[in-house]
Structure 1
Amino acid sequence: MRATLLIIEDEILLGTELSRHYQSGGWEVEWATTLSQARSILLEQHFDPLLVLSDMSLPDGNALDLIEAVQGQHPHAEWLLLTGYGSVPDSVRALRLGAYDFLEKPCELEHLDLVIASAARSARAQRRLFYQVQQHHRQYSPQAFVGRSQSAQEVRKLLAKLTEVPFSALIIGGETGTGKGLAARILHYGGERAQHPMVELNCAALPRELLESELFGHEAGAFTGAKARHPGLIEQANGGTLFLDEIGEMPLDLQAKLLKTIEDRWVRRLGGSKEIPIDVQILAASNRDLEEMAKHGDFRSDLYHRLSVFRLNLPALREIKEDLEELVPLFVAAFNAEAGRQVKVIPERVWTRLHAHDWPGNVRELRNVVERCVLFSEDAVFPEQWLQLPGQANSLASASHTASPDQIFLPLDGSMVLEEMDRYIIETVLRRNDYNIAATARALGTTRETLRYRIQKHGLKSSKLSSSRS
């Protein structure tokens, strides 16, 4: 990240000294003597300063007016203001506009260096956060919910609408593995709270006592082992989003406490008396029917109605199998990039088997299957033998079991390329002949030299080969 500094100073000697000093310190410096010149540098020349060091009073106006005018274009620059005569109204206005510091002239250069260094750290931290948010925003746009089915299109439309409104709570329903976590991230990073924290908690992963402490926080000495103050996840998510996954597993007494926190908009740590104001958007997810649970008393109905400002139900993969055509290539490309593979061809037989499976684990199961196949791939063809889908026999394994000793079955549906067939034939005949090179060569009608060459070519190495009689 470049160290860029804009100096706005009409005193020529001071401006020259500051420019020379910070240029020698590695800063890229622009110097303006008037507000109009500074405005041109910022808005027309598109100079993007990390810091702006400005005199408060300039020949053509007050620097505070410039801060106000350019805030939208340069929201992550820190402003340091110098003035020969401080006034309370200007100080208040400077702080309200987000100025980092307000220094009186003359200012010792050593002290100014310290303030500049501190402001630079603050500006860099803000920019890192901004870039991370921008990256997440691109990664988690509504288009990240992939699928061409009608159900997937409706989910995308609703996600897009929800990111445009400041809702307070929402329930995400759907079976395990349907993408509830993805939907939650789309709602957070696509909405107005994107620059604030998103905090996630799986309510089924913690016992009741630990869940309460994690959610609401605790003071030192609140219970045995509480040696220090711990802000809870609700407090940590202030200004942003709290994603409560598997909320149906939360004990009823904690549900009552959560409801009060949401309604009152404050939280009290365990063992504490201070009421801490909070502003949190709640996303609650469950693979169970919370409405039915509320009817039977297994989930608090008042909390259900408070959370269900909006409801988003994600379809099971078995109901939208046409989305496989978009999901599978997407996962293949992702795992190609991660593992350095080059899988490009998905045979028709693979598609047939993928469509025949009901995917009880939904998209999560599909992702795992594709990852396994890509990692075990040896060329550009998606390897069918590693699908290993429950209830579906592996085609090569079933062929070897049903074939007689003098037969080999090969799929002719394009799922195996010629090289794969050659390797499979040699490997199968070697195994049937106890890795005897001479017997295998006779069975294949070739010479031992040719067979050895092809064994080496396909990498069919075995300790049995070196010890077998040739």
Structure 2
Amino acid sequence: MRPALLIIEDELLLGAELSRHYQDGSWEVEWAKDLQQARNILLESEFNPLVILSDMSLPDGNALDLMEEIKGKHAHAEWLLLTGYGSVPDSVRALRLGAYDFLEKPCELDHLDLVVSSASRSASAHRRLQYQTQQQHQKYSPKALVGRSPATQRVRNLLTRLTQSHFSTLILGGETGTGKGLVARILHYSGTRAQQGPMIELNCAALPRDLLESELFGHEMGSFTGAKSRHFGFLEQANGGTLFLDEIGEMPLDLQAKLLKALEDRRVRRLGGNKEITIDVQILAASNRNLEQMSKEGGFRSDLYHRLNVFQLTLPPLRETKEDLEDLVPLFISEFSAEASKQIKTIPERVWAQLRNHDWPGNIRELRNVIERCVLFSEGEVLSDQYLQLPIKESQPVHKPSYSLNHIDQICLPLDGSMALEDMDRHIIEVAFKRNNYNIAATARALKSTRETLRYRIQKYNIRSADELV
């Protein structure tokens, strides 16, 4: 699709020349001879220009008045203003309204082409950013926090109110895996900061002290060994937006003092620098530890805790909100089924019984991983309980597996991360193939798979029978 250009010019010869020139240059061009015609094109037609090339003074008024009138009512476009005489007040007003450039007539076509091309790239980038922000807003609305339990509903209602409020700092509490990262993204992308700046995330537990300081506050070239260029810290990069400090309880005490000063003064100084930079950042601080208790015991600065604690939102663990399984499990099955090209539609009652009986120490993160594993290894439309691998409580009825591998009860797999899912898949097929004397039909029956699927997996993993190994 060709880029669109609106020309607003009352001089007939110049307007015709510009229109013909840019139409030949593969632009889609509309030409308005006065402000009213331009207003109709912008507000009432489907024409959506990337660049607006306009004379400043027109028969029915000043182009700056139209620019101010349509601001916020039309998709972002870059304005290039042409005038036969320049005035300082008009130049200042044009820049204040966001004009891309202010050019005096006559203007060489070659130079004008360069400016129009640059303005087009700027408008395209701005629209892409707006589109991404809108997509994130839709993805991370308060409804993204899924669950029907009263506790989850209360958190969702609080999120709705917080996204409509202006707050400087907030503490997110809760056990690991309860969704603090998701809540932080909801607060940013559905909040008042989404259109003002980016969201920057920093895990304070993932970096050593010196690197954490450099990433947070930035540094000047030569400020330390290896600082070969200037680096803008995350506090600067998040200016206007949100800085999400995950695991803030792991931040060293001396850096906590430096962060407190930056938050109090709203200014930051890069390492090795002598200039303070003004910042306006919303801080979301998350921790799975009790920061209030840590501040009493000296493990976290009490002054920083009170500075951050404008509002505290604690997420409930999954063992206290097991009603949420009714919404979370189908959601995760749908997500992973799409990724793995599966068609899982049924969740047996024995699967539900095990899911409801488990206490989920890893919370939603653990549930997500369990469902992903089951989806990957399930065949057909039924979610298999073969790979749930949840510890069985004494009060839980033991369901004997309905499958058999040549009358041998089970295959043991490590869950300590030492074996990838693909390795588990290969190991299961290899062991079952061997136990069934390398008979594909018997192995397929034992694994409740089809022979075609099994042959594909055997070829994929290059599994050979005993005769082939000789």
Q: State the TM-score bracket (shorter-chain normalisation).
A: 0.7 to 0.9
SS in 1 for 2:102: strand
- The SS at the match of 2:118 is helix
Are the counterparts in 2 of residues 350 and 384 from structure 1 also a CA contact under 8 Å?
yes
- Larger displacement relative to structure 2 (221-230 or 195-204): 221-230
User: What is the match of residue 188 of structure 2?
Assistant: 188
Report matched runs for 1:367-382 at 5 Å. Answer: 367-382=368-383
SS of structure 1 residue aligned to 2:386 = helix
Q: 1:113 is aligned with what amino acid?
A: D
28-37 or 71-80: bigger deviation? 71-80
Equivalent position of 2:323 in the other structure: 322
8 Å contact from structure 1 (residues 388, 394) kept in 2:
no
TM-score (norm 2): 0.86
Residue identity in the other structure for 2:310: V
Map 1:319-468 → 2, pairs under 5 A: 319-391=320-392, 395=399, 456=451, 459=454
Alignment RMSD (CA, Å):
2.9
Question: 1: distance between equivalents of 2:341 and 2:451?
Answer: 24
Tell me the CA shift for residue 29 of structure 1: 1.1
3-state DSSP of counterpart to 1:153: helix
> Secondary structure in 2 aligned to 1:52?
strand
Q: Deviations over 1:84-128 (max 9, x none)?
A: 111111111000000000111111111100000110111111011
Taking structure 1 as the reference length, the TM-score comes to 0.86
**Partners of 2:79 and 2:242 in 1: CA distance:** 30
Offset of residue 270 of structure 1:
0.9
Paired residues, number: 435
Kindly report which structure 2 residues correspond to 1:70-469, keeping only aligned pairs within 5 A, or say none.
Answer: 70-74=70-74, 76-195=76-195, 196-391=197-392, 395=399, 456=451, 459=454
Return the alpha-carbon distance in structure 2 between the equivalents of residues 429 and 224 of structure 1.
57
Once the two structures are TM-superposed, the CA of residue 229 in structure 1 deviates from its matched residue by 1.2
Residues 404 and 169 from structure 1, CA distance in 2 versus in 1: closer, same or farther, beyond 3 angstroms? closer
1:306 and 1:435 mapped to 2: Cα distance?
67
Compared with structure 1, are the counterparts of its residues 208 and 434 closer, same or farther at alpha carbon in structure 2 (3 Å cutoff)?
Answer: same
Report SS of the residue matched to 1:21: helix
Whole-Å Cα distance in 2 between the matches of residues 21 and 50 of structure 1?
Answer: 17
CA distance in 2, matches of 1:436, 1:98: 73
Amino acid of the structure 2 residue aligned with 1:36: Q
**3-state secondary structure, aligned to 1:227:** coil
1:226-265 CA distances to partner (integer Å, 9 max, x unpaired)? 1211111111111110000000001111101000000000
2:181 maps to amino acid: G
- In 2: Cα distance, 1:455 partner to 1:91 partner: 74
1:357 alignment partner AA? H
**1:436–1:465 CA contact under 8 A, matched in 2:** no
Distance 1:351 1:436, change over 3 A: closer
CA contact (8 A) 2:78 2:100 kept: yes
How far has the Cα of 1:430 moved from its partner? 9.4
**CA distance change for structure 1 residues 377 and 60 in 2, over 3 Å: closer, same or farther?**
same
* Aligned CA distance change for structure 1 residues 222 and 433 (closer, same or farther; 3 Å): closer
Q: Which residue of 1 aligns with 2:413?
A: none
Deviation at 1:46, TM superposition (A): 3.7
Residue type matched to 2:25 in 1? G
Letter in 1 for 2:349: E
Indicate if the aligned counterparts of 2:173 and 2:288 stay in contact, CA closer than 8 A. yes
Contact kept, 8 Å, 1:321 with 1:355, in 2: the verdict is yes
In the alignment, residue 166 of structure 1 is paired with which amino acid? H
Following the alignment from structure 2 to structure 1, what is the Cα–Cα distance between the partners of residues 332 and 450?
Answer: 33
Displacement of 1:282: 0.2
Q: 1:466 and 1:346, CA in 2 relative to 1: closer, same or farther beyond 3 A?
A: farther
- CA–CA distance in structure 1, aligned partners of residues 369 and 92 of structure 2: 57
Do the aligned partners of residues 434 and 57 (structure 1) sit closer, same or farther apart at CA in structure 2, a change above 3 Å counting? closer
Measured against aligned partners, the alpha-carbon deviations of 1:27-84 in whole angstroms (never above 9, x if no partner) come to 1111110101110111111422111000101110000000000001125110000011
Structure 1 portions without partners, runs of 5+: 409-426, 441-449
Mapped partners of 1:455, 1:297: distance in 2: 61
SS in 2 for 1:346: coil
| Contact 2:81 2:103 (8 Å CA) reproduced | yes
The separation in 2 between residues aligned to 1:167 and 1:148, in whole angstroms, is 27
1:155–1:314 Cα contact (<8 Å) kept: yes
CA distance 1:121–1:179, change in 2 (3 Å): same
Contact 1:200 1:245 in 2 (8 A): yes
Tell me the amino acid that sits aligned with residue 40 of structure 1.
N
Tell me the SS of whatever aligns to 2:205: coil
Q: Contact (CA 8 Å) 2:392, 2:398: kept in 1 or not?
A: no
Letter in 1 for 2:53: L
Percent same amino acid among aligned pairs? 70
**AA of the residue aligned to 1:90:** D
Looking at structure 2, the residues matched to 183 and 314 of structure 1 have their Cα atoms a distance apart, in angstroms, of 9
Does the aligned pair in 2 maintain the 1:385–1:396 contact within 8 Å?
no
In the TM superposition, residue 394 of structure 1 has moved relative to its aligned partner by 8.9
The 1:65–1:463 alpha-carbon spacing in structure 2 relative to 1, beyond 3 Å, is closer
Q: Deviations over 1:353-384 (max 9, x none)?
A: 11011111100111111111111122111111
Distance 1:94 1:348, change over 3 A: same
Distance 1:134 1:436 in 2: 55
Q: Could you say if the C-alpha distance between residues 358 and 50 of structure 1 is closer, same or farther in structure 2, counting changes exceeding 3 Å?
A: same
Partner of 1:385, secondary structure, is: coil
**Which runs of 5 or more structure 2 residues have no equivalent in the other structure?**
411-429
Instruction: Measure the CA separation in 2 of the matches of 1:338 and 1:124.
Output: 31
Residue type of the alignment partner of 1:57: S
| Cα distance, 1:390 vs structure 2 | 3.1
Whichever of the two has the greater Rg, that structure is 1
Q: Is the 8 A contact 2:350 2:399 kept in 1?
A: no
Aligned partners of 1:455, 1:13: CA distance in 2, in Å? 76
Equivalent in the alignment of 1:65? 65
